[in-house]
Amino acid sequence: MAKKPSIPKGTRDFSPAEVAKRNYIIHTIKKHFETYGFQPIETPSFENYDTLMGKYGDEGDRLIFKILNSGDFISKVDDVTYSSKNSATLTPKISEKALRYDLTVPFARYVVMHQNEIDFPFKRYQIQPVWRADRPQKGRFREFYQCDADVVGANSLLQEVEFVQLYDAVFTDLGLEGATIKINNRKILSGIAEIIGAKHLLVDFTVALDKLDKIGEEKVKAEMLQKGISEAAIAKAQPLFDMSGTAAEQLEKLKAILADSEIGMLGVSELEEIIATVDLLGLQSAKLKLDVTLARGLNYYTGAIFEVAAPEGVKMGSIGGGGRYDDLTGIFGLKDVSGVGISFGLDRIYLVMEELGLFPDSLDTSLDVLCLNFGKKEAQAALQLVADLRRNGVRADLYPTDTKVQKQFKYADKRGVPYVILLGEEELNTNAFVVKEMKSGGHKAYAIDAVAKFAKDILN
């Protein structure tokens, strides 16, 4: 007796209806990536162990899926290592490859490896799955897609402006109106850390501040204290917990706080320029909002940072994020190449669109025409008709057997086919075919040589 099959925890099968919806989002994102001049690349699903390890912190290292070496891998482990029976020391001896954890590190690796073939500035996009051995929960999976666009080799702040426009273009096109693009700048955070005398604790500071929305002011402060940031320093940072007003007003407050920090003031002026240019060009449906508590977890950001919140009223974490990193390729030996990029969270966008009912109805149709099967002779004529329809771009099919007509109609109904063709003996004799429109129940006859006309009728 065969065991009932299952799939690994945190992974998913996608049915035709789900694939259609996912592809709708992916194609929309892709279309805008391309009109914005981004070019696609693809990298392997697994990278060398050393390429990935140590790039995402200890937690990241733990969450990376490692691939077991092939063949008699264990015979290559020395006895000392083996006898210690320790997972951490054994792993690098029996695994040389690991599954991609994100698209950014592989992209940095790609740029360094192919630097002589690339024309900089290089605008690339990449839409591929990544894998993390995280604990699965709602909206968090062990295999999921990332949709990233990055520019490397261009320092101009126009790039940041373009990414804000790009977010706006995609979300507007998806009908997801009212998304909020939150923006901040790591230099402002560095400046604040400098001012409060906790420069060496910037990472701890930003990681804690990032949680303000989720855990509230008191708990963020408690975490900062616990990480070794002094009470006096936290008090100096108090204005950050109380920011409000327009972007211009907030920037003025920041200028007052950061007057003595060169890097902080640089961050303020960068943000001023980005926000002013976006204002000048206008956005279609998204809002741009300065949020000085926005920190983002990843350590490689050095300039502007972004995070996108779903339209108000929808409970969902961020549906996109990104920022500028001045030295990403440095980890692979290529210095001074600045980059900036954003990511779209496919799975969360999917859930938000589902909740708001934003997927077009046309996605439900996977077949335009089903031709019924009335027996061998009729089926041969129907096959010819179906072949003609397909050559005219119609998604058409012949029911494979001459089972009961009722059963064939039921199949058409379940698949949501809008048109059913009847080509029985009578039609054969009169060189015609009859089309039944499933929704209205209406019939219409076409001459057998009018396939192109019928195709045109239903595709419009």
Calpha distance 217→219 (Å, rounded): 6
Q: Checking DSSP bridges between strand 369-371 and strand 396-398, what pairing results, if any?
A: parallel
Q: Is 279 in the site for a second copy (CB under 8 A)?
A: no
Residue 301 assigned as binding residue? yes
Minimum gap (Å) between residue 78 Cβ and a second copy? 11
Calpha distance 338→302 (Å, rounded): 10
- Residue 106 neighbours by CB distance under 10 Å: 23
- DSSP three-state, residue 430: coil
Tokens at residue 12, please?
């998913």
H/E stretch holding 222: helix 212-226
Of 152 and 292, nearer to a second copy (C-beta) is 152
- DSSP three-state, residue 130: strand
Calpha distance 450→421 (Å, rounded): 13
Q: Is 209 in the site for a second copy (CB under 8 A)?
A: no
Instruction: Select the residue interacting with a second copy from 230, 269, 277, 318 (CB under 8 A).
Output: 277
Q: Is 211 in the site for a second copy (CB under 8 A)?
A: no
Residues 312-341 that bind a second copy (CB under 8 A): 330-333
**Stretch touching a second copy by CB under 8 A, among 123-131, 309-317, 342-350, 428-436:** 123-131
Q: Is 11 in the site for a second copy (CB under 8 A)?
A: yes
Q: Is 158 in the site for a second copy (CB under 8 A)?
A: yes
Instruction: Select the residue interacting with a second copy from 139, 228, 375, 393 (CB under 8 A).
Output: 393
CA torsion, points 34, 346, 311, 38, in degrees to nearest 10?
A: -20
Calpha distance 272→169 (Å, rounded): 22
Instruction: Select the residue interacting with a second copy from 20, 203, 316, 448 (CB under 8 A).
Output: 20
Instruction: Select the residue interacting with a second copy from 81, 204, 415, 448 (CB under 8 A).
Output: 415
What x/- string results for residues 32 through 71 when contact with a second copy is judged by CB under 8 A?
Answer: x-xxxx-xxxxxxxxxx-xx----------xx-xxxx-xx
Residue 146 assigned as binding residue? yes
Of 111 and 295, nearer to a second copy (C-beta) is 111
Q: Is 366 in the site for a second copy (CB under 8 A)?
A: yes
Number of residues that bind a second copy (CB under 8 A): 107
Residue 103 assigned as binding residue? yes
What x/- string results for residues 164 through 193 when contact with a second copy is judged by CB under 8 A?
Answer: -x---x------------------------
Identity (one letter) of the amino acid at 378? E
Sheet holding 443-447, edge to edge: 396-398, 369-371, 419-422, 432-437, 443-447
Residues 64-103 that bind a second copy (CB under 8 A): 65-68, 70-75, 82, 85-87, 90-91, 94-97, 99
Q: Is 26 in the site for a second copy (CB under 8 A)?
A: no
Q: 131: which strand partners? A: 143
Q: Is 6 in the site for a second copy (CB under 8 A)?
A: yes
Calpha distance 327→333 (Å, rounded): 10
Instruction: Select the residue interacting with a second copy from 189, 208, 372, 396 (CB under 8 A).
Output: 396
Minimum gap (Å) between residue 104 Cβ and a second copy? 14
Minimum gap (Å) between residue 446 Cβ and a second copy? 19
Tokens at residue 449, please?
């040589």
CB 347 within 8 A of CB 139: yes
Cα angle, residue 249 at apex, residues 218 and 231 outer, rounded to 5° = 25
Cα angle, residue 289 at apex, residues 236 and 159 outer, rounded to 5° = 105
Q: What residues are designated binding site for L-histidine?
A: 102-104, 132, 146, 150, 296, 300-301
